[in-house]
Amino acid sequence: MSGIFALLVQAVIYFMVMGTIFFRRKTIGIGVFFCLLGTMHFLETYLAAVFFVELPFGLISPGSTVIFTGKLAFFLLLYIKEDAEVIRQPIYGLLSGNILMIALGLVLRFYADPASLPGYNADLRFIDQIGLLMIWGTILLFADLILLVILYERLGALVTNTVPGRIFISLSIVLSFDQLFFFVSLHLLAGVPASALYGGWIAKMGAAGFFSLMLTAYLRFLERTPVAIPAQGAADVFDRLTYRHRYEKLVERIGRDALTGLQDRGQFDAKGAALLQAATQSDLSVSLMMIDIDHFKAINDQYGHVEGDRVLREVAAMIAGAKRAADELFRYGGEEFALLCPETPPGAGAMAERIRTAVSDSQKPALGRSVTISVGIATFPADASDFRGLLLKADAALYEAKKMGRNRVVSASASLSRPTA
């Protein structure tokens, strides 16, 4: 009983300290909590390899039973109160630190004759062993957390809607998975006997129950904000535990105009040529509309660039709202936009007229007048045989629309104009 009591005392101390630091994360910073996790990661791995106690149901390690189970519980709490993007940060830090530890340990071999001291001398083999265990443990932890989050989310619908039930079942399943795979490495590297496998599993189930109750109490009495989180699939959790979603967001932002959010000139040049190539192979047509805001310089001069930027954004939004889903809209430069429309003729002129009307009919109280646009249209292959030619023809039609008095649509092949109101 003394061994079980010692485990309980250790678990209480662990939860009290970790819980206090976590509770104060908004004031002292989440980094303090992460550093604490890193420190415990080393102690946990060390104890799991060399420190075992005999209990009636088998060998158990306090490091594996209390510290690792507690760490998983706090990672789940971190997910509940923060998100999956936050819990990946200490994982990557731990993995990088473990690899660095092994690398620096290998460099120590270059010291051919280290000084002998009267006390304890360095055991480089032990550093290698612990380093390998910590790397394997961190890789397992990454898989554990994906599984933990998915189980926590799905169990609400499949088994129970109670928070303690979801926490306990999630922890139990993940701990069982981890116990098996981490024991294999312990057995191979440190010769740990099989009694540590089932003994450790029984002890971890008890620890899972303890930490489930403690987490529930924490959520009930200390942080009372709702803990329900929209269910997420395995792919989404994996993406958030990696940096793939940031890469996708970065890719999405590249080629975007910062002011309007539309695709930029570079995207226009790339997609325009590709669209015409695809149209050639499919024997289809493509229309290009060059759209220019009338008298935009006067708006900037009279009302300032802030108001001019607002007009740009609003006109971009109106064009985007009037186009079809398959059409591609770009900010070509300044107050000019380009709209690529596959398979529009003979309806390109009608759609351009609809866009022109939507803009001219919109109210602009701050300006005291309406904003209008001029549109030039050219169609492939009727008006041009390549993308550069198409752009030149659409530009020429736009110039003609402005020359005729603006606020109108002009086609490269036929005039579809409307007098200025």
pTM reported for the whole predicted model: 0.56
Residue ending a domain, choose from 232, 248, 264: 248
Question: How far, in Å, CA of 99 to CA of 350, rounded?
Answer: 64
Whether 7 and 135 share a structural domain: yes
Residue 228's pLDDT is 44
Residue 230's pLDDT is 47
The amino acid at residue 389 is G
In the predicted structure, residue 366 carries a pLDDT above the cut 80 = no
Backbone phi, psi, residue 376, to 5°: -115, 135
Comparing 272 with 421, which gets the higher pLDDT? 272
Comparing 372 with 115, which gets the higher pLDDT? 372
Comparing 254 with 288, which gets the higher pLDDT? 288
- Determine the structural domain holding residue 345 and report its residue range: 255-416
Whether 266 and 335 share a structural domain: yes
In the predicted structure, residue 156 carries a pLDDT above the cut 70 = no
- What tokens appear for 341 in the block? 């429309």
Span 352-369, mean pLDDT?
A: 83
Residue ending a domain, choose from 227, 248, 269: 248
Question: How far, in Å, CA of 230 to CA of 232, rounded?
Answer: 6
Q: Is residue 421 part of a domain?
A: no
- What tokens appear for 44 in the block? 């946990």
Residue 210's pLDDT is 94
Residue ending a domain, choose from 248, 265, 297: 248
